[in-house]
Structure 1
Amino acid sequence: MTRNLTVRRIRAAAGLASLAAALALSACSGSSDSGQAKGKGGAGGPGGGGPTTVGYVVVQPTAVPTISELPGRTVAYESSQVRPQITGVIQKRFFTEGALVKRGQPLYQIDPSLYRAAANQAQANVANAQATFAAAKIRADRYKPLAEMEAISAQDYTDAVAQQRQAAAQIGVNSAQLDSARVNLRFTTVPAPITGRIGRSLFTVGALVSATQTDPLATIQQLDPMFVDIQQSSTNLLALRRALAAGGAAPARAEVTLKLEDGSDYGLKGTVEFAEVVVDQSTGTVTLRARFPNPQGLLLPGMFVRAEFAQSILKYAFLVPQPAISRDAKGNATLFVVGANGKAEQRNIKADRTQGAYWVVTDGLKPGEKIITQGLANLRPGAQIRAVPANAPQPVKAPSPEEMKKQSGGGQGKAG
């Protein structure tokens, strides 16, 4: 009995302890939920929506050059093929391939034996003709007084004079043949026709060459200065000429800069020499030729380059930073300006090209207008705005005591 009573007492005490623990846990949970509710109530509250702060720039009209970037190819300033003028076997070569040669410098020696012999023969023929002429002249001079005295027939004198004239003419024929033989003899030495850098030799010593062959002996190119042939579409050239004729643009001095094949800038500047007067039917382009100095030989014939130059100057245009302009669904350019009533005003403009970090606006703006360039993310037409100069530093104010109390109270509610 005593043992059973003790067991029942122990179980009752354990049950009371469990009940007390459950009540305490419930009370703690209720207190925590109440604290969280208070914390949410302290931190929340309706927020007031003020005007959107935007940054603006003031634009003024200016003269803007029309910059064109067009593809082009480099062309040698002078190019000449070294060709033989006679037929013969090459005996010597006097130059090093790739070297700089001067105009008139000997390049090849062709066997002169046959041409020297022909020149000697022609010279002998001239001497023979001169001797024949001398004899014919003496005879005609002797027959003249005899014919006057009628000691000989007039026909004999006439024949003597004719022979003298034939001998004089033969001297002229033989002299011309001598000149031709001497020219051919001179052609046995092949000179450089221009000054420039010579390429590889296509014929070696011992090769037979002729004046009618297809391939040249070598090619010489003058690389300083260098030409660049620029291709511009005929449509753009027509628009440029119309703008110049209408007076909206003025011609600019065509100073050209180059970008090389690797994207780097060619340090020296060139000038446009002329423009073709014929449109290429296959490409629809007009060729402009620019001249560049090339003292270091960096430009080589046939290189692909991009030329940038000003073809004209717009007399009245606005330069607007690129972030300020966007395009609608139809591709029209739009921007926001600061309205007179402190609201954002959307404006349609005409901006057909860029120049550096700016759009070139030719229509839709007035001098002195404030163009919004910052704070455009959620800006809508007619929205109330607070306009400040672009990139202006905004003052940072210390929180007021009421704000500090609200922050402190909200933080305690959350902590409780």
Structure 2
Amino acid sequence: MTIAALVGCANEAAQDSSQKGPVEVGYIVARTSDVPVAVELAGRIAAAEMSEVRPQVTGLIRRRLFTEGAVVRAGQTLYEIDTRLYRAAAAEAEANLASALANAEATRVRADRLKPLAEAQAVALQDYTDARASARQAAAAVRQARAQMQTAGVNLQFTRVPAPISGRIGRSLFTVGALVTGNQTEPLAVIQGVDPVFVDIQQSSAELLAFRRALAGGGAAPGSTSVGLLLEDGTEYPQRGVVQFSEVMVDAETGTVTLRARFPNPEGLLLPGMFVRARFEQAVDTGAILVPQAALTRNPRGEASVFVVDAGNKAAERKVTATRTLGTDWVVTGGLKPGDKVIVQGLARMKPGAPVKPVPTSKPQVIAAPTPDSRG
């Protein structure tokens, strides 16, 4: 009785197994698409404009007319230097000009009076020649005195030190009462334009070379110039920037090429010298295939593979190249071709060569509940 029962159960199991048939699996049809090649690189903030505030005349600082750390506008007076010497020099130049003008008028009149007398030979011709020369010398002295007066006026204006550019000014390096000179090496203060700002991004020359080869070979297309930023605390900067250019030479010490992006900074959140990470699409992969992450497996050597449905409705393992992800999908750049049926559902215990019943993933899979007889 026991042996007969066992034989009967075995026969029923074999019969059930034969009735099960191929495993029903869900698949997607591989299609090529344009997939952006996202790049994340380190960078540092740099001021779009930077200017050192320097004196152009010598004197004592009488007043400082700005608040350290504030935003100043171009032309705004920042310092006042003692004006007494320069006002005196301007007054002296003005007086010298008046004297030169008077002398020039007198010499001109004398030359004009001697002219008819010289023609009538009432005076020596040499006297008239000397008078004309004196008049010309006096006229030149007027021009010289006028230039000196203009110079004195410019020096007087230089006693008010203006902001060369608009931006945020740093701390004052000289206090009221300090003596400054027109040829000193240290600036009075530094102004930096912080809206907009530049982000200098470093990319290895090897990566840039591979990117350009891909463009030349037709396997990729130029990407967007729009750039996003990750700040030092890991948060994302709300404004997006634009890549403006890349350097034409490689830094010999670091082996990198500098790319420069321009970012709006209306709230002054980005400060020069700040470390950031830039995200942008440097290229677009025109022949990539997106495969759900659940459909791809890796062996102990790290090699990626997927199962596809072959012409005989059997599972075939296919090795693929997938080095990055995009959202919930792997970006496959090799091993698949358009039209391949990639199995994405029913992969549990899937083996190469196993017969399958392919069903598009857009259709619901029919999974029968186990019957009481099948449990025994």
TM over 0.5: yes
1:395 to 362, 367, 376: 367
- 1:188 positional shift: 0.8
Provide the rounded CA distance (Å) in 2 between the counterparts of 1:100 and 1:397: 73
Secondary structure of 2:214 counterpart: helix
- Report the residue type matching 1:268 in the other structure: Q
Quote how far apart the aligned CAs of 1:258 are.
1.2
Unaligned runs of 5+ in 1: 1-36, 407-416
Mapping 1:245-264, distance limit 5 Å = 245-264=216-235
Does residue 66 (structure 1) correspond to residue 41 (structure 2)? The answer is no
Other-structure match for 2:137: 166
Pairing 1:191–2:126 present: no
* Aligned-residue offset at 1:155: 2.1
Q: Is the 8 A contact 2:87 2:156 kept in 1?
A: yes
After superposition, the C-alpha distances for 1:253-297 in whole angstroms (9 at most, x for unaligned) are 311111111111111111112222222222222222111122222
1:229 pairs with one of 200, 211, 221: 200
The one-letter amino acid of 1:356's match is: G
Judge conservation of contact 1:335–1:346 (CA < 8 Å) in 2. yes
**Aligned partners of 2:102, 2:78: CA distance in 1, in Å?**
40
Alignment of 1:361 onto 2:332: yes
Residue identity in the other structure for 2:369: K
Matched-pair contact (CA < 8 Å) for 1:232–1:286: yes
- 1:146 is the counterpart of 2:117: yes
Deviations 1:113-132 (A, max 9, x none): 11111111111111111111
Helix, strand or coil for the counterpart of 2:79? strand
When residues 89 and 242 of structure 1 are mapped into structure 2, their CA distance, relative to the original with a 3 A threshold, is same
- How far is the alpha carbon of 1:334 from its aligned partner? 3.1
Asked whether 1:208 is paired with 2:179, we answer: yes
Secondary structure, aligned partner of 2:239: strand
Q: 1:165 to 1:304 in 2, by over 3 A?
A: same
Determine which structure has the larger helix proportion and give its number: 1
Instruction: Give the Cα–Cα distance (whole angstroms) in 2 for the partners of residues 264 and 368 of structure 1.
Output: 41
Segment drifting more, 364-373 vs 101-110: 364-373
TM-score by length of 1: 0.79
CA distance in 2, matches of 1:355, 1:150: 106
In 2: Cα distance, 1:359 partner to 1:212 partner: 63
Structure 2 vs 1, CA of residues 283 and 211 (structure 1 numbering), >3 Å: closer, same or farther?
Answer: same
Cα offset for 1:203? 1.4
Which whole-Å CA distance do the structure 2 matches of 1:247 and 1:150 have between them? 97
| Larger radius of gyration between Structure 1 and Structure 2 | 1
Find the residue that maps to 2:237 and give its secondary structure.
strand
Deviations along 1:346-405, whole A, 9 cap, x unmatched? 2233334433333322333222322234565654433444555569666352524x347x
Q: How much does 1:318 deviate? A: 1.0
Q: Distance in 1 between matches of 2:129 and 2:349?
A: 117
Instruction: Give how far 1:189 is off.
Output: 0.8
Matched, 1:280 2:251: yes
| Cα deviation 1:164-219 (Å, max 9, x = unaligned) | 11111111222222111111111111111111222211211111122222322122
Report if the CA contact (8 A) 1:67-1:355 is conserved.
Answer: no
Pick aligned residue for 1:119 from 90, 100, 113: 90
Query: Partner letter of residue 181 of structure 2?
Result: S
CA distance in 1 between partners of 2:370 and 2:219 (Å): 55
- In structure 2, stretches of 5+ residues that fail to align are none
- One-letter identity of the residue aligned with 2:161: V
